[in-house]
Chain A
Amino acid sequence: MARPAILRGWFLIRRDLPHGRRVLLTVVSFLLPLALWCVVSYVPWIWHPDVKIELSAEREGVTTVFTAGDHVSREFFPEFVEAVRQENAAVLAAREAGTPGSGAKRKNQKLLRQLAPLAVEQGWLDYTDGQNDAVLYHVWRDLATGARTSADPKLTPENLDIVRRNWAVMSALSPDFSYKQLPDEPLLKIVPQGMPANPVYLPAPHEVFRAAKRDFTAEVPTGELTMGQRYRQSLHIIIAGFLWACVVGIPLGILCGVFDFFSKLLEPFVDFFRYMPAPTFSTLLVAVLLAGDAPKVALVFIGTVFQMILVVSKTTRLLDPALLEAAQTLGAKPRQMITKVVIPGILPNLYNDLRILLGWAWTWLVIAELIGVKSGLTEFIETQGRFRNFERVFPVIILIGVTGFVTDQILSWLHGLLFPWAGKSGNFSRAVASFVSWPFRMVAAGARERIAASEMSTPEVRRNEAS
């Protein structure tokens, strides 16, 4: 039975797929992990070993306090809820028996704040303003009277009932917040509410996205750095470290590749040195170069330069020796062989080497930013990771990934533009190259004509009369 055309030809051994299919698979390669992440995050019956608390409560006599946003295990949560319910039942029982407790003003003020996460979520309260009791008091009022409703998180009927009962008690004493006017008898606690959730280290996409939006746009207190500033700090270190490595590594690499003298003089030691992990020098670097960016730049430099010398010398040695011989027979002197043959000849491969080394430099950057005074994007990752705010960590990790990936893609695209002769460039980059070089070519052509007009001598090509 013949399969439809769309299903045929996906799995051919060592055969390239057509362009359309390749693009499709590239897109899918990104969508697939994203889709997996969404499924694990949003399909409630898949995994979700935790409950993420939306509304929390403090229990009597228990020192462990959970706040909204905390994760508790799925097994423990019902226990937690039940404990609060029992406390409420006790309060109600006492109230019904005509012997309500007293001296609970302080606790009741805290109890009012149980709704703060909900108010923040709804945008009724700024998240830095969770103890604004005056506003919260009115939140209680409005929820009880139905003037406001909360859709997300939605109050359970049980909790709505508790809100109403409490408001009945509170409103009898004062329409607005005043500590003195708070009820003296215990109010009912909001019963904890929560959502099935994955562990904190796997926040859902929307949480990550929201954290990213907030962190990347947030105004920060003076003295702290915005994400943009951190990003620039990191870029500065990696670029400085990498450029220094290029300045030292490329000429040495080429020398080693060209002259056996330098190869035998330098490469054994370089080969040895690169096995000593760069981070092991961090304390030394800080001691020598002190705090600030210098030891960090030096670490990226050390991590990159030794590899670079070896890789560049290898690339140089890979240049077809026949090209050098050809140049010799055309009269090239040793210096010209290096400048006119070796360097232009290895450029495309050298360029690709640098692309790969730049990728490694990012690894060194992350370590570099942790030494001395922590700085840049890594400091943020460190701090937030320590607070287990992984939804704030992921955007920064992704930012680094995207930066590296996009840089590499741009560099790869430029490869075709810079080295059209390498024959790997597509039509598009060739077209761009010819467009970009057009003004130069026009100027050159003009100059050529002017010179040709002024230079009257004829070429001295020795032609022969027929023999």
Chain B
Amino acid sequence: MSTHVELPSYREQAPEVAARFARLQQRPVALEVSGLTKKFETPRGVVTALSDVSFSVHKRELMCVIGPSGCGKSTLVRILAGLETATAGELKVYGEPVSGPGPDRGMVFQGYTLFPWLSVKENVMFGPKMAGKSSFTAEREAREWIDLVGLAKFENSYPHQLSGGMKQRVAIARALANQPRVLFMDEPFGALDAQTRCKMQSYLLDIWKNVDITIVFITHDLDEAVFLSDRILVLDANPGRVAEIVEVPVPRPRSEQQLFDPTFMATRKHIDHMMHPPGQEQKEAPVLRMAVADPDVI
């Protein structure tokens, strides 16, 4: 049936990749999460969305959080952004405990959440203005960030005039304009079509390369996670627990050609197995039965 290609183990790292991880470990810890637990009181009882989640992200690292739908990814990132309070656990940004939302942690939502009454420029100016900067300073900074995401021509457009991909670029610019220390992104490209999504992933890597920012990126898309990440945090469902933190052995800079690199495929396969253990799959997948075996079809 399938042609077996011998894949290397995802743990095997090329020397330059290993060196890079070593350097990464030396950097200060940007975000430290310890013992995070979240329980929801619902009419049908207490739902434990997250159970004892601990991990840390280093400065200028790009970490993806992946897991099946409903495993608590959004809950996790909303707690980190301060939009939700944890039942237990602690969160530190550069060593300082934080609670509640703050401009030190930016957030990009799946649903864009641009302010529809503000133009692109005014949306990006929002954060700096909240920080008390003058309109003129805010505007000048906003222009730089809009340039960075390549939307200079649209700075006076309103969100409803932009495509989904453009909206998300504005949302990224808006979050970055606040110069947060950590940027959280909750399935930011989930609503985009496959092609735009690919482009946006490359954009994001470009931006990340040019800006001093630590990113925690939520996704349920395997390719996206492997393509973007330094490390991937795999979450188990029910309750949400850290299953493993995977170091991605694919060297940087990343490009689309690497999608078929053995290292890429090995990592992808490993995580895939973790999220969909073999054996379980057969039970869940619908079975198509052919009435007559037609050799031409196969």
Contacts and interface: CB of A to CB of B under 8 A. Distances in A.
Interface of A: 320, 322-323, 325-333, 336, 340-341, 344-345, 347, 419-423, 448, 451-452, 455, 459, 461-464, 466-467
B174 A330 contact: yes
A330 B178 CA distance: 7
18 contacts: A323-B113, A323-B115, A326-B107, A326-B109, A327-B126, A328-B83, A329-B83, A329-B105, A422-B160, A423-B160, A452-B140, A455-B137, A461-B144, A461-B145, A462-B212, A463-B212, A464-B210, A467-B60
B107 A329 contact: yes
Nearest to A344: B117
Contact of A464 (B60, B116, B126, B131): B60
Interface in B83-115: 83, 101-103, 105-107, 109, 111, 113, 115
A284 to B, nearest CB: 42
Contacts of A322: 109, 111, 113
Contact of B136 (A329, A448, A466): A448
Interface in B153-183: 158-161, 174-175, 178-179
Nearest to B114: A326
A331 B130 contact: yes
Interface residues of B, number: 41
A459 B102 CA distance: 22
Contacts of B139: 448
A459 B103 contact: no
A341 B115 contact: yes
Contacts, number: 102
Given A329-B175, A421-B160, A452-B140, A344 B145 contact: no
A348 to B, nearest CB: 8
A345 B210 contact: no
A423 B174 CA distance: 21
A330 B137 contact: no
B141 interface: yes
B209 A336 contact: no
B211 A330 contact: no
A331 B138 CA distance: 14
A254 to B, nearest CB: 16
Nearest to A333: B130
Nearest to B81: A329
Given A332-B130, A345-B117, 9 more contacts: A322-B109, A322-B113, A325-B109, A326-B113, A419-B117, A421-B117, A423-B158, A461-B141, A467-B60
B89 to A, nearest CB: 20
A464 B208 CA distance: 9
B82 interface: yes
B60 A452 contact: no
A86 to B, nearest CB: 82
B102 A331 contact: yes
A463 B113 contact: no
Interface of B: 60, 81-83, 101-103, 105-107, 109, 111, 113, 115-119, 126-127, 130-131, 136-137, 139-141, 144-145, 158-161, 174-175, 178-179, 209-212
B144 to A, nearest CB: 5
5 closest A-B pairs by CB: A331-B103, A423-B160, A329-B107, A326-B113, A328-B101
B103 A330 contact: yes
Nearest to B83: A325
B140 A329 contact: no
Nearest to A420: B158
A459 B211 CA distance: 14
B82 to A, nearest CB: 7
Among A325, A423, A448: residue with most chain B CB under 10 A: A325
A309 to B, nearest CB: 24
Given A323-B113, A423-B158, A330 B175 contact: yes
Contacts of A340: 126, 130
A344 B126 CA distance: 13
Contacts of A423: 116, 158, 160-161
Given A420-B158, A423-B158, A463 B101 contact: no
Nearest to B253: A466
Given A464-B210, A466-B209, A331 B178 contact: yes
A422 B116 contact: yes
Contacts of A327: 115, 126, 130
Nearest to A343: B117
A399 B244 CA distance: 75
A330 B212 contact: no
A436 to B, nearest CB: 16
A330 B126 contact: yes
Contacts of A419: 117
Contacts of A451: 136
A84 to B, nearest CB: 76
A452 B119 CA distance: 21
A403 B288 CA distance: 66
Contacts of A462: 179, 211-212
Contacts of A421: 116-119, 158-160
Contacts of A467: 60, 209
Nearest to A451: B136
B60 to A, nearest CB: 6
Among A320, A328, A452, A463: residue with most chain B CB under 10 A: A328
Contacts of B82: 328-329
A327 B109 CA distance: 12
A457 to B, nearest CB: 8
Nearest to A421: B158
A461 B141 CA distance: 7
Given A329-B81, A462-B212, A336 B141 contact: no
Nearest to A423: B160
Contact of B130 (A320, A323, A336): A336
A238 to B, nearest CB: 30
Contacts of B102: 331
A423 B111 CA distance: 18
Contacts of A455: 136-137
Nearest to A459: B141
